[in-house]
């Protein structure tokens, strides 16, 4: 189960995530996150609860993990695009299915349908170290 964090820390994470989304051109996410932030700021969102726009504390943390933002920048390993699951050996003549958990401008979060292991796959022109909060809009 997900444990709720201090509201001040969560709001700071939401602000950083909003800035990161904006620099990546993820406008719909920014708009929805603003509603979530407003609910947090006004005390309308009880600890750990969702806002109808779909944002919750656990989703903010998941996006920190996917976008490799501190302190979660190392939570998911980075693998080449279209990678097989490193934990599940493919049965003879069959591939282990991998699904897309989330997509973002630089790539996707891949998830093995057999064991649930997750990793990030970045586009070829994106270095793993460059996908962090220090990236600036051009």
Q: Are residues 84 and 60 in the same domain?
A: no
| Tally of domains in the chain | 2
Q: Are residues 83 and 51 in the same domain?
A: no
**Residue at a domain's end among 66, 92, 114:** 66
Residue 28 is assigned to a structural domain of this protein: yes
Residue 97 is assigned to a structural domain of this protein: yes
Residue 27 is assigned to a structural domain of this protein: yes
pLDDT one digit per residue (tens) for the chain, 138 residues: 456 788 889 899 999 999 999 999 999 999 989 988 988 888 887 777 777 777 888 999 999 999 999 999 999 999 999 999 999 877 766 667 899 999 999 999 999 998 999 999 998 766 554 444 333 443
Q: Are residues 89 and 52 in the same domain?
A: no
Residue (of 88, 125, 84) closest to 107 by Cα position: 125
Element (H, E) at 109: strand 107-112
DSSP 88: S
0.85 exceeded by pTM: no
By residue range, what is the domain housing residue 120?
A: 78-130
Q: What are phi and psi of 128, to 5 degrees?
A: -55, -40
């Amino acid at each position: 189960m997900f444990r709720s964090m201090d509201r001040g820390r969560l709001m700071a994470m939401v602000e950083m995530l909003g800035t990161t989304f904006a620099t990546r051109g993820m406008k719909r996410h920014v708009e929805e996150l603003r509603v979530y932030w407003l609910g947090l700021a006004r005390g309308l969102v009880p600890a750990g609860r969702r806002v109808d726009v779909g944002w919750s504390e656990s989703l903010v943390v998941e996006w920190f993990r996917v976008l490799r933002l501190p302190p979660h920048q190392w939570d998911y390993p980075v693998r080449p695009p279209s990678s097989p699951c490193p934990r599940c050996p493919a049965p003879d003549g069959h591939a282990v299915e991998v699904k897309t958990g989330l997509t973002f401008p630089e790539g996707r979060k891949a998830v093995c349908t057999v064991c649930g292991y997750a990793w990030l796959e970045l586009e070829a022109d994106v270095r793993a170290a460059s996908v962090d909060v220090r990236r600036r809009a051009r």
